[in-house]
Chains A and B, each alone.
Chain A
Amino acid sequence: MASFKPTNIPVYPKLGEKVTQDTLYWKNYKAPVQIKEFGAITNIDFSPVTPHNFAVTAFTRIHIYGPFSQEPVKTFTRFKDTAYCGRFRSDGQLLVAGCEDSVVRLFDVGGKVALRMFRGHTKAVHVTDFTSDRYQILTGSDDYTCRLWDIPNATELNVYQEHTDYIRCGITSKLNRDLFITGSYDHTLKVFDARVDKSVMSMDHGQPIESLLLYPSEGLLVSAGGRYVKVWDLLKGGQPLVSLRNHHKTVTCLALSSNGQRLLSASLDRHVKVYSTTNYKVVHNFDYAASILSLALAPDDESIVVGMTNSILSIKHRKSPEESREISGQQRRRPSYRVFVKGKNYVPKQDDYLVSKPVKQYLAKYDKQLKKFNVSKALDCALEKWIRLRNPEVPVAVIKELDRRGTLKNALAGRDEQQLSRLLSFLIGNLVDMRFAPVLVVAAEMILDIYRSILGQSPVIDRQLLRMQDLLEREIDYQKELVEVLGMLDTMFASSLPKMEVPWISSATLLPLEVAVPSKKLNFPLEGGICI
């Protein structure tokens, strides 16, 4: 006596989302730590020296967090107004920040009071940075100017008045102490050399520029503004290399992964996108709760820190190898595991008499009904809401099984308005799915046959049938278009490929070398030739 064979639910290949090396890498972060700040977080900067603290600029304060602490290890509060752009020097000892009140302040990381105050700008300073020789400071301001300051003397070295709008981003070269680049709301980004008084290079981004990033080699420059992220080749005189448009709101921040292979961009559309720097394709995507203003990656990608407009700071730490293994093990383990396993791991001793219990076959609800030949109930079980929505392949498999048994018509017939409308809504949702269409079309035809007589009696059913009709018409148009495209592609392939190599693509005019010459004709002795 064989046991009942349950309905075979086919596993369909997942369309679209694929598990790549990148998704594995970027998904290997713990659940984020969220910290509430006082206002929108405009800038995050990691200290270049261990333990890689990071400075978070939000409203009138700059908090410095340690790599694992959730409380700030240090706070700078001596700002009269909103602070901007708190950045570490390359030795991690000094921190510079601009302010809404146009004063640039320089702090010792250990102290509280500003070491130096640079006054000279007339409007809010949004950009501050140290040059690579560590003795000068670059600032950019809403008064359209950018300035260089000397730290020891606290004097202004130079003023550049080339931009015609707010300067909201700037960056200094890590390799050359005289080079720095600024981006402005006048759509241009300019490369300055401190040894001359004018910009040496100017590029047009086409949108107000929000963020700048230099590659470690400093041959390539990335700018973000509007919805665009653009990559420029500095060694070719500022030639645009790529323009990426993957966000649907303004891109606010850029970052580079530790090995320089991946570029990250954060945007007001609440997404962080990860690009491969070889082909500039999006390889991964993070979602956040609010519009993102700032983004930073710890060295070695140990953590991803994101600041948002709702003043929430989100810190994701990378899982350690043990943790990532442990998690996968835990997923297999159910909460009731211990209860479940009770008495099962008992090893029988020598004198024990073992009573074997027959293995019980667990069947799904619809299979239990199918086993009893209750076809309508089986279909009802398979069409339960959570099954229908979460895995539509189950109802489809049950419909297929009923069709195979020749009882689909019985199962579909005799339903009231509510049951029928549930069935129809399932059909509307999945009828045009390529994987399910062959099965569902049969069912849909049967439903139309069975319920033809009651058309016009129920407004609900009528509305659904009209929707289905509409859906089918659209699908037919769509298929027609696809066939047209296919035809076009075929002709293109046929004309572009050399003819001899494509005998299989289409019936291209290929003459076969036919060997049809009978060389010898030899006869089997059929009639009583050999008799052994």
Chain B
Amino acid sequence: MVEHGDIRVVHRGGSKIDFRQPVITNDSRFLLCASGECVKVFSTSTEECIHDLQGHTDLVTGVLLRPSNHLQVYSCSIDGTVRLWDFTDGILIKTYVIGCPVYSIYASANHEGVIFIVVPMLGDKRSELFQLVAVHLPQSGDQLVESRELSAVLSNVSSNPADIAFGRGGEYIASAKGLQLKVFFFKKQKSYEFSLKEDNKKGGLNTFTCVACHPKDDCIATGHGDGKIRLWRNFNHKKEYTYSTLHWHHNAVSSLCFTPEGTNLLSGGVESVLVQWRYNQESQRDFLPRLGAAITHIAVSPDGALFCTSHSDNKITIIQSCVKVSAVIQGLVKGDVQTDLIVDPRSKALVLNGKPGHLQFYSLQRDKLLYNLDIVQQEYIHELGLEQFEVVKAAFDASGTWLATVEERKQKSAELEVNLKLWAFDEQTQSFVLNTTISAPHEARITAMCFRQATDSQTTMLVSTSKDGHFKAWQLATPAHTEGPSWSCDFVGTYHGLVPECCCFSADSSLLAVSFQEVVTVWSPTSWELLTTLSQPPGAIRDLCFGRLSCSKYLLGTTAKNLLCCWNLLTCSLEWSTSMDISLLLADPLSENMAAFCCQAGCTDLFVFKPSEPRPLFSHKAVCSGTVTRAVFAPREKMLDSCEENSQWLNRSQLHFLTQYMDLMTFTTKAEDDRLMASSKQLVIDDSVAMTPFYLLLGKHRHQQQENQDPMSSLSAERTPLPQSSVAIKELLQTPAHVLPSTSFLCSMFVQSLLISVTDLRSNHSERHYPQMEKTWNSGNQQHLFQENPDDHQMICRLHLPQLRSICT
């Protein structure tokens, strides 16, 4: 990524936590899971993330408890390393460099000092072929250990970690790929292969999807593509092996797991039902239904008390003894985002598609999912290939009291089903309550929807445009015979039978702009008069946006034929236009600024500009690859006070956007980064120590210590950065004391070195001080300056004193 001034693009939270099987620690208090480039440690009781184990430079592909020490954990990554961590304190103990991408990791208590990893076949790293290799971990005291001694165990294995499992006491390892099950016996150094036919009689898929081995018995359970589970026995013979079949799942079994004592077998799949089979009494099963989304992994704690299932909607559910869901760790649900990114004006949360049929409210400040709002309110049927209702549009009004959502369901043969729902915010329950459902508000798909922005007007109005060639205005009305106010259609508009694409209200809500292919029509929402039409052929209008604040007289539009136009609504004429292929145009609600994402040669550039002048305030080349179609300006909690021209646009709000791969990114300034770093140091989470009498004794002591430290740390967080260029300070502090000249001599030099920093401080001073300083600066004489302004001098000295103290200590 191009380093660009002091503004850079960063990932914004919400990484995947359902990528690999989570691990529950021996004492059942922590849950470890791979999440992007780090391993997250969650508390199983409070659902809080305790710390991140950061160190890998690429995707983490596996987490495994060290069999010989239950307080340590291995993690492997695509970056070619296996790292050993102490997860209670979050310390990296060792890094083993393997040298090629690692896709999964296995270990057994019986194989001391050996781990088994899946790596690509040697020779070609691009190939789809993988092999299972054993790595002898060298015993050495170094942090970084090269361990490139790989000895192949099985070739041609699957890269999916669920397809390989250790058998009873680590005597054998089972691996499945495609239609073949391989079992390798370590003692005999011999492998057996068992194959299935491609299809069974009923046409089900026989491919293996996952493998689990019984911990106390010679039995291998395999899951299959048609939902069957096979229990293999007697597999140490080539011919006389047997298997029995269990069938409950109607789609592929995605995960299998035996409980530690081997009494139960757990299985899960797309049905989102956790099935518990009694071992040897397979007709008895227990079910835990409606877990929310398809189960991707199942894990059991070493003592068997906790189960945990990870789900395809980026969620980990912790289940106590197969009956009660005790905790749910929910990340940002990543799926097919169809709504625009919106910010809830009330909670300042980012709102987008979540679980199927839900909207998720995601707090950007706290990087936490606040809640999921059920929009569709129907029982979700977990079945592949079933057309479900999807939330495709959502909009908030200016004060956040109303939420409008559109859900639709398209069937192959039948008509499109569209529902427009309006939700009112309920103060008591602090959530949205369904007010009105309008089924089939339009005859075709709704293309855009927006609320009237004015906060003072009594009537709220919603405008929706549709492919059926109409746009409709909806208003809150109180019919005499019903109990509460509900929404009804107020006006239906068309223009020459053209299809409306987007609509937008002006900042003061006095104008409504609706684009009909090449033509922009401007309406008065009070009288529904067509005021004027604007057009800039050729090319249909793709995006419409009114300017805000001082630029509210401008209307901006982008066309499909690579044109960005700015119309002045006072003169009804084109103010300026420029040729750009803009994929997304959006306005900052708190300032005049507008952001345009411009797609060029496979990657996206960002331009920020004011409508009044066709000159970008800020531009960033190659923000990400692919087009950006969803972005939002989220208001900041606290305004930044940056004065630099190219970062000023980030003062009031922050720009978030979704990339092609549904990654949520944002822009941060350097100052913000520094502040974040400083504050993260202050944050000490002390959840790892048990509440023993010893802790109480020690904790009190430590608490006092921390209090003593606090003023220091807060100071260091606030302090201004030292003038790095100052040679004098460096010299003063780095040369040994015995070679330094006398202190009286040094003092004046040292004070002067501090005084130079006035030029840097200048920008931090308020405007009032600025001209005064400038004037005196021009006089040229520093001594003179400080004689004239003794107050300033004192102030600066006071400013630097704490720094001095901290430097000297």
Judging by beta carbons under 8 Å apart, are B493 and A504 in contact?
Answer: yes
Judging by beta carbons under 8 Å apart, are A18 and B574 in contact?
Answer: no
Partner of B481, one of A2, A7, A18, A438: A18
Flag whether B290 is at the interface (Cβ < 8 A): yes
If A404-B378, A438-B415, A504-B495 touch, whether A519 touches B480 (CB-CB below 8 Å) is no
Judging by beta carbons under 8 Å apart, are B288 and A10 in contact?
Answer: no
Question: How many angstroms between the C-alpha atoms of A403 and B493 in the bound complex?
Answer: 34
Q: How far is the CB of A266 from the nearest CB of chain B, in Å? A: 27
- The interface centre, meaning the residue of A20, A507, A515 with most chain B CB atoms within 10 A of its CB, is A515
Judging by beta carbons under 8 Å apart, are A370 and B533 in contact?
Answer: no
Residue of A nearest to B537 (CB): A516
If A405-B381, A512-B533 touch, whether A1 touches B288 (CB-CB below 8 Å) is yes
Judging by beta carbons under 8 Å apart, are A504 and B574 in contact?
Answer: no
If A503-B495, A504-B493 touch, whether A515 touches B5 (CB-CB below 8 Å) is no
Judging by beta carbons under 8 Å apart, are A530 and B616 in contact?
Answer: yes
Task: Mark contacts of B572-611 with chain A using CB atoms, 8 A cut-off: 1 yes-contact digit, 0 otherwise.
Answer: 1111111110000000000000000000100000010000
Flag whether B379 is at the interface (Cβ < 8 A): yes
Q: CB-CB < 8 A to B536: which residues of A?
A: 516, 518
Flag whether A522 is at the interface (Cβ < 8 A): yes
Task: Mark contacts of B633-665 with chain A using CB atoms, 8 A cut-off: 1 yes-contact digit, 0 otherwise.
Answer: 000000000000010000000000000000000
Flag whether B496 is at the interface (Cβ < 8 A): yes
Q: How far is the CB of A27 from the nearest CB of chain B, in Å? A: 13
Task: Mark contacts of B544-571 with chain A using CB atoms, 8 A cut-off: 1 yes-contact digit, 0 otherwise.
Answer: 0000000000000000000010010000
Judging by beta carbons under 8 Å apart, are B378 and A517 in contact?
Answer: no
In this complex, how many residues of chain A approach chain B with their Cβ under 8 Å: the count is 44
Question: How many angstroms between the C-alpha atoms of A520 and B536 in the bound complex?
Answer: 13
Question: How many angstroms between the C-alpha atoms of A530 and B606 in the bound complex?
Answer: 12
Question: How many angstroms between the C-alpha atoms of A369 and B415 in the bound complex?
Answer: 27
Flag whether A8 is at the interface (Cβ < 8 A): yes
Residue of B nearest to A19 (CB): B481
Task: Mark contacts of B695-710 with chain A using CB atoms, 8 A cut-off: 1 yes-contact digit, 0 otherwise.
Answer: 0000000000000000
Residue of B nearest to A406 (CB): B386
Judging by beta carbons under 8 Å apart, are B535 and A516 in contact?
Answer: yes
Flag whether B532 is at the interface (Cβ < 8 A): yes
For the side of the interface on B, what is the size category? Answer: 35 or more
Question: How many angstroms between the C-alpha atoms of A404 and B481 in the bound complex?
Answer: 33
Q: CB-CB < 8 A to B379: which residues of A?
A: 4-7, 370
Q: How far is the CB of A440 from the nearest CB of chain B, in Å? A: 12
- In chain A, positions 50-85 with a C-beta closer than 8 Å to chain B are none
Flag whether A492 is at the interface (Cβ < 8 A): no
Judging by beta carbons under 8 Å apart, are A504 and B519 in contact?
Answer: no
Flag whether B377 is at the interface (Cβ < 8 A): yes
Residue of B nearest to A525 (CB): B616
Question: How many angstroms between the C-alpha atoms of A531 and B607 in the bound complex?
Answer: 11
Q: CB-CB < 8 A to A18: which residues of B?
A: 480-481
Residue of A nearest to B532 (CB): A513
Question: How many angstroms between the C-alpha atoms of A20 and B481 in the bound complex?
Answer: 7
Question: How many angstroms between the C-alpha atoms of A1 and B414 in the bound complex?
Answer: 33
Task: Mark contacts of A394-409 with chain B using CB atoms, 8 A cut-off: 1 yes-contact digit, 0 otherwise.
Answer: 0000000101111000
Q: How far is the CB of A169 from the nearest CB of chain B, in Å? A: 38
- In chain B, positions 283-297 with a C-beta closer than 8 Å to chain A are 288-292
Question: How many angstroms between the C-alpha atoms of A10 and B493 in the bound complex?
Answer: 28
Question: How many angstroms between the C-alpha atoms of A405 and B646 in the bound complex?
Answer: 53
Question: How many angstroms between the C-alpha atoms of A515 and B289 in the bound complex?
Answer: 61
Flag whether A523 is at the interface (Cβ < 8 A): yes
Judging by beta carbons under 8 Å apart, are A507 and B497 in contact?
Answer: yes
Q: How far is the CB of B674 from the nearest CB of chain A, in Å? A: 20
Judging by beta carbons under 8 Å apart, are B325 and A532 in contact?
Answer: no
If A2-B290, A3-B290, A10-B439 touch, whether A532 touches B494 (CB-CB below 8 Å) is no
Judging by beta carbons under 8 Å apart, are B575 and A514 in contact?
Answer: no
Flag whether A521 is at the interface (Cβ < 8 A): yes
- In chain B, positions 782-797 with a C-beta closer than 8 Å to chain A are none
Tell me the interface secondary structure of chain A in the complex: loop
Q: How far is the CB of A92 from the nearest CB of chain B, in Å? A: 41
Judging by beta carbons under 8 Å apart, are B377 and A2 in contact?
Answer: no
Question: How many angstroms between the C-alpha atoms of A520 and B614 in the bound complex?
Answer: 11
Q: CB-CB < 8 A to B111: which residues of A?
A: none
Flag whether B401 is at the interface (Cβ < 8 A): no
Flag whether B263 is at the interface (Cβ < 8 A): no
Q: How far is the CB of B309 from the nearest CB of chain A, in Å? A: 11
Judging by beta carbons under 8 Å apart, are A514 and B576 in contact?
Answer: no
Q: CB-CB < 8 A to A438: which residues of B?
A: 415
- In chain A, positions 30-48 with a C-beta closer than 8 Å to chain B are none
Judging by beta carbons under 8 Å apart, are B573 and A404 in contact?
Answer: no
Question: How many angstroms between the C-alpha atoms of A513 and B378 in the bound complex?
Answer: 48
Q: CB-CB < 8 A to B579: which residues of A?
A: 523-524
Flag whether A442 is at the interface (Cβ < 8 A): yes
Question: How many angstroms between the C-alpha atoms of A530 and B4 in the bound complex?
Answer: 12
Judging by beta carbons under 8 Å apart, are A524 and B607 in contact?
Answer: yes
Judging by beta carbons under 8 Å apart, are A8 and B378 in contact?
Answer: yes
Judging by beta carbons under 8 Å apart, are A532 and B618 in contact?
Answer: yes
If A405-B386, A512-B533, A532-B5 touch, whether A524 touches B578 (CB-CB below 8 Å) is yes
Residue of B nearest to A14 (CB): B481
Residue of B nearest to A17 (CB): B481
Q: How far is the CB of A408 from the nearest CB of chain B, in Å? A: 11
Partner of B576, one of A501, A504, A521, A531: A521
- In chain B, positions 487-505 with a C-beta closer than 8 Å to chain A are 492-497
Residue of A nearest to B288 (CB): A1
Judging by beta carbons under 8 Å apart, are A1 and B494 in contact?
Answer: no
Question: How many angstroms between the C-alpha atoms of A514 and B607 in the bound complex?
Answer: 29
Flag whether A526 is at the interface (Cβ < 8 A): yes
Partner of A8, one of B377, B409, B481, B607: B377
Judging by beta carbons under 8 Å apart, are B383 and A503 in contact?
Answer: no
Q: CB-CB < 8 A to A513: which residues of B?
A: 532-533
Question: How many angstroms between the C-alpha atoms of A401 and B380 in the bound complex?
Answer: 11
Judging by beta carbons under 8 Å apart, are B577 and A521 in contact?
Answer: yes
Q: CB-CB < 8 A to B496: which residues of A?
A: 507, 510, 512
Task: Mark contacts of B444-481 with chain A using CB atoms, 8 A cut-off: 1 yes-contact digit, 0 otherwise.
Answer: 00000000000000000000000000000000000011
Partner of B519, one of A2, A405, A514: A514
Question: How many angstroms between the C-alpha atoms of A531 and B580 in the bound complex?
Answer: 18
Judging by beta carbons under 8 Å apart, are B437 and A526 in contact?
Answer: no
Judging by beta carbons under 8 Å apart, are A524 and B573 in contact?
Answer: no
Judging by beta carbons under 8 Å apart, are A504 and B492 in contact?
Answer: yes
Q: CB-CB < 8 A to B621: which residues of A?
A: 531
Q: How far is the CB of B691 from the nearest CB of chain A, in Å? A: 25
Question: How many angstroms between the C-alpha atoms of A69 and B532 in the bound complex?
Answer: 74
Flag whether B433 is at the interface (Cβ < 8 A): no
Task: Mark contacts of B420-438 with chain A using CB atoms, 8 A cut-off: 1 yes-contact digit, 0 otherwise.
Answer: 0000000000000000010
Q: CB-CB < 8 A to A4: which residues of B?
A: 290, 379
- In chain A, positions 495-515 with a C-beta closer than 8 Å to chain B are 501, 503-504, 507, 510, 512-515
Judging by beta carbons under 8 Å apart, are A532 and B495 in contact?
Answer: no
If A513-B532, A515-B533, A519-B575 touch, whether A524 touches B614 (CB-CB below 8 Å) is yes
Q: How far is the CB of A259 from the nearest CB of chain B, in Å? A: 21
Flag whether B534 is at the interface (Cβ < 8 A): yes
Question: How many angstroms between the C-alpha atoms of A7 and B600 in the bound complex?
Answer: 48
- In chain A, positions 9-34 with a C-beta closer than 8 Å to chain B are 10, 18-20
Flag whether B530 is at the interface (Cβ < 8 A): yes
Judging by beta carbons under 8 Å apart, are B290 and A1 in contact?
Answer: yes
Q: How far is the CB of B667 from the nearest CB of chain A, in Å? A: 13
Flag whether B619 is at the interface (Cβ < 8 A): yes
Q: CB-CB < 8 A to B618: which residues of A?
A: 532
Q: CB-CB < 8 A to A515: which residues of B?
A: 532-535, 567, 572-574
If A1-B325, A8-B378, A405-B381 touch, whether A532 touches B580 (CB-CB below 8 Å) is no
Having A5-B379, A512-B496, A524-B564, one finds 11 other A-B pairs with CB under 8 Å, namely A1-B288, A4-B290, A5-B378, A7-B379, A8-B377, A403-B414, A406-B383, A503-B494, A504-B494, A514-B519, A522-B578
A–B Cβ pairs within 8 angstroms, 9 of them:
A20-B481, A501-B529, A503-B530, A504-B495, A504-B530, A516-B536, A520-B577, A521-B578, A522-B614
Closest 10 CB pairs of A and B: A19-B481, A522-B614, A512-B533, A522-B576, A504-B493, A5-B379, A532-B646, A524-B578, A2-B290, A1-B325
